[in-house]
Structure 1
Amino acid sequence: MKKLSDGMTANPGEWVLDVRVGLVDSVPEIWRLLELQASLTLGQVHRILQVAFGWEDAHLHRFTDSDPFARLRPMDGEIPDTLQWMPQDWCEEPTDLPEEDCSLGQLLVRGSGAAFYEYDFGDSWLHHIEMVSRRPADEATPPARLTDGARRGPLEDSGGLSGYESILDALADPTHPDHTGYSEWVTAVKNSDEPFDPDLLDIAEVNRTLGGI
């Protein structure tokens, strides 16, 4: 199985996918544009998305080939189960598939060029993954690279999008009754007393981290 490593180059016939990943329902949208080798396993893609959005890999996750929360049309009187890919050790149901055995390219083909990644089943951070384009890789192609995006990822355990937005509102208003409490909480979570900037995205730093995986 291919592993992410420094200096890894593409194999002959490898495809590079331009993949746009957006946090569903975020306004303004929190999104990333990534160059990813199609042969990366979903386990590897999970690690890449954790870095790209600033997550800390502290919760469960899964990939699906369709929106796991969409109201599905019943088939033969029954609502079909959504297939989901997760670490092999977590697979318990017939619809659970090992993420180690599926590549990004295979998942996107199943979903007609799109798929979903959910992180933290409590806060339910749902990411929409869409293939924008693809091209043959050359020998210098890294396994993963962030090329564009907007806004930093939400803070862990901030209560989903509604909770995160409430925190941002309180941080932006010194007269807000929760301003001091949330300011102290953010300082503890980030282990830094620097002002929290929800619009900050350091692409170069993300790529340095990806290069070290």
Structure 2
Amino acid sequence: MPDTLTLRIELMHVKPKVIRTFKVSSNSSMYELHFIIQRVMGWNDSHLHRFEVGDVMIQPKDPYGFGGFDDFGETKDSSKVKVGKVFAKVGSKAKYEYDFGDGWMHKLELVERSESSNTEVLPVVVSGKNACPPDDSGGPWGYMALVDILKDPQHKYYNERKEWVDAVMGKDKFNPKKYSVEAVNERLVKMYEEE
């Protein structure tokens, strides 16, 4: 029976800090972990991604057939690498990059490894802090500028940025301090029901 891995993920270079703790099966592939991270964090899965484990890149196998994805040293196909191999012991670390243009870098760490129970539903979010930035918000510095602008209705770009955020996230839906573990866990259940 596969183990249950408790992972902590933090979006790097942003304030307020965006942190999640979640459980996943050690038998999941790194490719599956990408989709789980997308839901757990709140991303839209509209950009390329990769994992970095030391000097090794783990990513989808050349998704567009262009070639050149293997030019960065040792590269492994994420569909063939198990999460339990990357996160073999407590303290194991990796980085996850999403959207190479905006450069959203995350650090992942295994905080607990335990035997799975037959009743445990995985994946599941244990805790989370603060909202994920909207996709295409300009990377860490663009996002922090956006948060500052939205705090000040008198800012010269307030109306423009508020209109953009409302169009992307839904009218008055975005709050950088808000994160709902329950809502995300519902999305994770739906993700597996759709398979």
Q: Same fold (TM over 0.5)?
A: yes
Cα distance between partner residues in 2 of 1:115 and 1:159? 23
| Structure having the higher Rg | 1
What are the equivalent positions in structure 2 for 1:13-92 lying under 5 Å apart?
14-66=2-54, 82-90=55-63, 91-92=69-70
1:106 corresponds to 2:85: yes
How far apart are 1:39 and its partner, in Å? Answer: 1.1
Q: Distance in 2 between matches of 1:111 and 1:101?
A: 22
Task: List structure 1 segments (4+ residues) > 4 angstroms apart after TM superposition.
Answer: none
User: What is the deviation of 1:108?
Assistant: 2.1
Name the CA distance, whole Å, in 1 between partners of 2:173 and 2:10.
25
- Residue aligned with 1:109, SS: coil
Q: Any gaps of 5 or more consecutive residues in structure 1? A: 1-11, 67-81
Q: Paired residue for 1:207?
A: 185
Q: Are residue 172 (structure 1) and residue 151 (structure 2) matched? A: yes
Check 1:46–1:133 CA distance in 2 against 1; reply closer, same or farther (3 A cut).
same
CA contact (8 A) 2:14 2:144 kept: no
Name which of structure 1's ranges 101-110 and 150-159 shifts more when overlaid on structure 2: 101-110
Residue 194 of structure 1 deviates from its aligned partner by 1.6
Equivalent residues of 1:62, 1:85 under 8 A apart: yes
Preserved CA contact (<8 Å) 1:19 1:129: yes
Partner residue, 1:3: none
- Identity between Structure 1 and Structure 2 (%): 30
1:119 and 2:119 matched: no
Give the Cα–Cα distance (whole angstroms) in 1 for the partners of residues 79 and 17 of structure 2. 30
Aligned residues: 185
Which of 82, 99, 109 does residue 130 from structure 1 map onto?
Answer: 109
1:96 CA drift (Å): 2.0
Match of 1:74 in 2: none
Report SS of the residue matched to 2:23: strand
Return the offset for 1:110. Answer: 9.1
CA RMSD of aligned residues (A): 1.6
Give distance in 1, aligned partners of 2:123 and 2:60. 20
Output the amino acid matched with 1:201: Y
Q: Is the 8 A contact 2:6 2:21 kept in 1?
A: yes
